Amino acid sequence: MRAQLDSLIEQSRPPDAISVSDDHSDDGTWAMLETWADDVRGRLGIRVLLHRNEIRVGVTRNFEIAINALDTDFIFLADQDDVWLGNKIEVLAACLEANSEVMLAHSDAHLVDSNNVDLGKSLYHSLYLTPVDNELVRQGRFFEVYCRRNLVTGTTTAFRRELLRVASPFPACYWLHDEWLAACAAAWKEVRMLPDKLTRYRQHGSNVVGVPKSKAGRVAKYVKRVLDTPRDNYLVIKAGRLDFLRRRLEQTGLASGGALTLLAEAEGHFARRKNFSKCMLPRMASIYREYRSGGYARFADGVAGVVRDVIHL
C-alpha cells in the first residue's frame, strides 16, 4: 500500500486533496495511514482526509465515503495496492478539461503480479473485447456496451463531481462502484476510453475483481461463474441491475431518451428469458427466436448466453 500512496503524490500534476477511507482494517494499516498523512500534509501541503469505519461496510460503500469527503471538481479512484504512473492525473484531467460533456474517463493499465513484475499484458487486452464491442467503443456508444458488460476498472478511472447528481447514493446491491459510475456517465453524457497505460494493476488472490491472465483462464472463470450461479438467480440479478439503473435515471431526469429506450429493451430480453419453458422443445424455440432477434448479442454474452439457457436450468 505504501508504494501506491507514494505514487499518488509523485505526480507531474499533484493532487489537490487525497481522501482515504479505512474499512476497519486490523493489520496496522490505520497507524501507517496516520503517519503517512502527517508527513504529506507537513512536507507537501496536500490535504489528506482520513476516515475509519467503526464496522466494515464493504467495497462500494467504503468508496462512497471516501468520495463524499472530497470537494474537488475531478475525482480519481485508487484501488487496493495498484501503483499510478507519474503522468496519470495529468492525462486524465486533461481529457476531462478538454470537453465538459465527458463525465468519466478511464485508461488502460499494465498488469503486474503480486511482486510488481510485469505480466506482459494490458488490462484492455485481458478484457477480450469482441468485434462488436470494439465497434461500439470506436463510435463512442458506451452505454450499449454497458447494458451487456463492464469495461471500466476503478483504479484507472477519473470522473467529474457533477456525475454524483446521478450516481449518488451508490446502490447497496447489484452494482460495484466503478461499473455504476460508468453506466450513469454513459447514460447521461459521454465517456472516454483512453489507450494510455497509466496504472500498474496488481493481480493477486485478494483482488475483489481480478483479470484472467489467459483465454483459458477467462473461459475457466466464466464456467465457474455459470456453475456457481443458478440460471434463474443470474437472470434476476441482471434484471435487477437494469431496473435499479432505469429507476435512478428516471428519478433524476438526466438520462437521454435513447438510454432509457435501450434499458427497456434490455429488461425485456431478460424478462423473456426468465419465462422460457422448462420443457426442452418450447424452450429451444424461444431461445432460437431470442437469438434471431439479436437479444443475446446486444444484452447478454452472445453464444455463451445461449448455452446458459440451453444447459443451465
Instruction: Write down the pLDDT at residue 2.
Output: 87
Give the largest Cα separation in the chain, rounded. Answer: 72
| pLDDT tens sequence for the chain (313 residues) | 889 999 999 999 999 999 999 999 999 999 999 999 999 999 999 999 999 999 999 999 999 999 999 999 999 999 878 999 999 999 999 999 999 999 999 999 999 998 889 999 999 999 988 888 999 999 999 999 999 999 999 999 999 999 999 999 999 999 999 999 999 999 999 999 999 999 999 987 655 445 665 556 656 666 666 666 788 888 999 999 999 999 999 999 999 889 999 999 999 999 999 999 999 999 999 999 999 999 999 998 788 889 889 986 5
| Cα gap 176→37, rounded to integer Å | 27
Residue among 137, 83, 131 nearest 111 (CA): 83
Q: The C-alpha cell of 67 is what?
A: 468520495
Q: What are the distances in angstroms from CA 217 to CA 118, 125, 213?
A: 18, 13, 6
Helix (H, G, I), strand (E, B) or coil at 210: coil
| 7-47 pLDDT per residue, tens | 999 999 999 999 999 999 999 999 999 999 999 999 999 99
| 125-144 pLDDT per residue, tens | 999 888 889 999 999 999 99
Global pTM exceeds 0.85: yes
| Cα gap 285→291, rounded to integer Å | 10
Cis peptide before 131 (omega within 30 of 0): no
Instruction: Write down the pLDDT at residue 211.
Output: 61
Residues 6 or more apart whose Cβ sits within 8 Å of residue 223: none
Instruction: Write down the pLDDT at residue 7.
Output: 96
Instruction: Write down the pLDDT at residue 295.
Output: 96
Decide the pairing of beta strands 47-52 and 17-22: parallel
| Cα gap 190→155, rounded to integer Å | 19
**Amino acid letter at 299?**
F
Q: What is the dihedral of CA 160, 262, 128, 312, to 10 degrees?
A: 130
Instruction: Write down the pLDDT at residue 208.
Output: 45
Instruction: Write down the pLDDT at residue 194.
Output: 98
